[in-house]
Structure 1
Amino acid sequence: MKIAQIDVIEAVIPFDDGGSGMGITPGRWDSLELVLVRVQTDTGLVGWGDCFAYSCRAAVATAARGMVAPLLQDRELAATPEALMLEVQRRLHLFGRYGITLFAISGFDIALWDIAAKAQGRPLHALLGPARRSELQAYASLVRYADAALVRKYCRQACEQGYRAIKLHEIEPDIIRAGRAAIGPDIGLSVDVNCAWSTEQARERIALLREVDALWIEEPIFPPEDIRTQAELNALFPLGAGENACTRHEFARMLEAGAVRFAQPSVIKVGGVTEFAAVAALSEAKGVAVMPHSPYFGPGYFATLQLSAGLAGEPLFEHLYVQPAADLALGGTPLPRQGVVSIPQVPGHGFEPDPQVLARWRV
């Protein structure tokens, strides 16, 4: 079986979050930017992948088409794609080991694992090891509102919908306190500040995190690769990080430094299923919990569910708490119900696009 056809597809689907859309991305964030990878074999099997593309869609699509696709066209496929995808990483290492290059590689890796699982007629998680669960507790991952009233509104709404955990992306203490007050003491709360605090602010706000009984603080300082300072902070309060890390090697350095209590690989950034699975194995060996980063929709959402089936401990699934204008998945995305999301048990990772939706929002 070999790769016969590759398509890189761009799409943009608007979403509503009830806020201004300002605060984290370079401009207004009010749409899901997608770079999808469609890989078809000479036997007719089709795999779908997902490259991280928020605010960088054009660059990622160009890398996918011009850098990764030519290395995979007409290649023979083994039972699983690890060796081939590591070869691709080696071939492209001179052009940027991390960032855009790995975002593009991630999409192809996910697509090839989808094909591998379909070829065996098994769910993707079955190729990776024993399943520990068929459903996951999900948490509502709120956007940054920078507005206490909106934080209270959406925290309460998420609780009413059955979520038992919520993540804020707020950076101001009073707004973080407003979130805890809105949900009460029995709902899990984590705080992701997206590297917005100085080291001094992070140290000072350990008391605040203890006050609101946060489960973890996520990426408190800039730059995210400052693992020495992260390790110092992690010794004071549970720290989560990894959404900006690519490959198992960056995670190995974090784990060896004691820089995280919660490792947070993103399958559409880290290098796909191949690298995510390696990170999970390293983390389990170190006794560090994996809390996947997954505020996206499409193949990456489905792949994260599949990977979470075998994770050690009690992983939570991050669900971006927004309302897209359309559901790209044929048959519907398995969304959380009463705070619980089911893991698809069909061959592959479970994602197939709705052709009408894709045609409507394709760029």
Structure 2
Amino acid sequence: MKTKSPVRLTMDKVVVRVVQIPMRRPIVARLGEFKSFPYILTDVHTKEGVIGHSYLEPYRVTAAKSIVALIEDMAEQQRGKPVAPFDRFEEAVRSLHLLGRQGVMLIAIAAMDMAMWDALAKALGLPLVVLLGGTVGPVRAYNTNGLWLIPIERLADEASALVAEGDFTALKIRLGRDAVKDDLKAIAEVRRAVGDDIILMGDFNQGLSFSAAKRRLHQLDDQGLEWFEEPIVFDDFTGSARLANELKTPVQIGENIYGPRHFLQAVAAGAADCYMPDLERIGGVTGWLRSAAIAGAAGLPMSTHLYPEFSAHLMRVTETADWLEWRDWGNPVLAEPFEIRGGAIHIPDRPGAGIAWDEAAVKRFAI
């Protein structure tokens, strides 16, 4: 009996573009204020004609120039080689031994890695989750599209609108106002609007010193929040572990962890009760899979940070999958945004990660 030859793809070229998209609800947080958000769109072209897509969210458009240069340099090094994400990931990481495994180099690796996985799944005619051994289906999500450090009197109406965007059962609220009484009032306003059954995640965006966090989190520990996210600077694993050991409310970190080895360091330090890696820092699909194995072995919940389209596929094959962070900031450049209903993101049954660019929008938002 004849068997079908396996699909083999070869790297040809990479096209990288930068867009900046206005936000419906500007970000107002300890990390800064953003009225628009930049995206780095990466297209990996293969000699066989399959094109893999990915994107990065570098926060500040000034960071894009250096990241784009690194992606293009990496693409040139990989030109003519097989599209084999694990091989290319290891090869790229080994090249960092003398420079360090963190920072923008790993972010560039992530862009290439996600696009390669997308291309492989497309070549096989499979959704990414199926290529990874899972099935297409819903992933529970919370809405992170608002509830920033805006005037407290606006929170109730915004919370109600956020729930209605997809019949959400969970929302993220940003905390860390100047006085704890204002954080308490903000939580109360949101609960007044949406009820006690809506789950609230509290995010401090690294805005507190350790001593301030110790006081503030104890004062908020009876508010029934799902977690306290990044109360202190992200790489203070010792301080974060001390907080996690003292508090009833789980401590959540992870969006600023760079790669699986850094992730293992956090886990070994007992830095948090739960983790939420960011795909551009953890190392794309490959970095996530390796980190998820660590979390699974340790029995630690894994949630996602941004990148909802790729993240949905990964959550379906993650042993300790917890919550997906939903945001729609990049939807204007997507040809077919993912569907949100019943408080879940629904993975479409189409090849690859399921993303394609709306080229007219890309042109409109290009910088």
- Could you state the TM-score of these two structures normalised by the residue count of structure 1? 0.89
Determine the structure 1 residue equivalent to 2:310. Answer: 303
Q: Give the secondary structure class of the aligned counterpart of 2:95.
A: helix
Determine the structure 1 residue equivalent to 2:4. Answer: none
2:16–2:72: 8 Å Cα contact kept in structure 1? yes
Matching of residues 284-303 of structure 1 within 5 Å: 284-294=296-306, 300-303=307-310
Asked if 1:147 is matched to 2:157, the reply is no
Matching of residues 186-335 of structure 1 within 5 Å: 186-222=197-233, 224-235=234-245, 236=247, 237-294=249-306, 300-313=307-320, 315-320=322-327, 327-330=332-335, 332-335=336-339
Shift of 1:250: 1.0
Shift of 1:239: 0.8
Matching of residues 83-232 of structure 1 within 5 Å: 83-131=87-135, 134-141=137-144, 142=146, 144-161=148-165, 162-172=167-177, 173=180, 174-175=182-183, 176-177=186-187, 178-222=189-233, 224-232=234-242
Shift of 1:283: 0.4
Determine the structure 1 residue equivalent to 2:79. Answer: 73
1:219–1:241: 8 Å Cα contact kept in structure 2? yes
The CA distance in 1 between the partners of 2:106 and 2:192, in whole Å, is 40
Q: Which runs of 5+ in 2 are unaligned?
A: 1-8
Moved more, 256-265 or 121-130: 121-130
CA deviation profile, 1:164-208 (whole Å, cap 9, x unmatched) = 101112212323433344332111111111111111222222334
Query: Aligned pair in 2 of structure 1 residues 288, 247: CA closer, same or farther (>3 Å)?
Result: same
1:306–1:343: 8 Å Cα contact kept in structure 2? yes
Shift of 1:150: 2.1
2:30–2:207: 8 Å Cα contact kept in structure 1? no
- Could you state the TM-score of these two structures normalised by the residue count of structure 2? 0.88
2:16 counterpart letter in structure 1: V
1:169–1:193: 8 Å Cα contact kept in structure 2? yes
2:139–2:345: 8 Å Cα contact kept in structure 1? yes
Determine the structure 2 residue equivalent to 1:48. Answer: 53
2:255–2:278: 8 Å Cα contact kept in structure 1? yes
Moved more, 256-265 or 143-152: 143-152
CA deviation profile, 1:50-76 (whole Å, cap 9, x unmatched) = 23321122222222223x222222212
Identical amino acids, percent of aligned pairs: 27
Shift of 1:101: 1.3
1:251 counterpart letter in structure 2: F
The CA distance in 2 between the partners of 1:212 and 1:308, in whole Å, is 28
Moved more, 353-362 or 187-196: 353-362
The CA distance in 2 between the partners of 1:77 and 1:155, in whole Å, is 44
The CA distance in 2 between the partners of 1:63 and 1:211, in whole Å, is 46
Q: Give the secondary structure class of the aligned counterpart of 2:15.
A: strand
How many pairs were matched up?
347
2:38 counterpart letter in structure 1: E
2:147–2:159: 8 Å Cα contact kept in structure 1? no
Residue 341 of structure 1 is aligned with which of 333, 345, 365? Answer: 345
The CA distance in 1 between the partners of 2:30 and 2:97, in whole Å, is 29
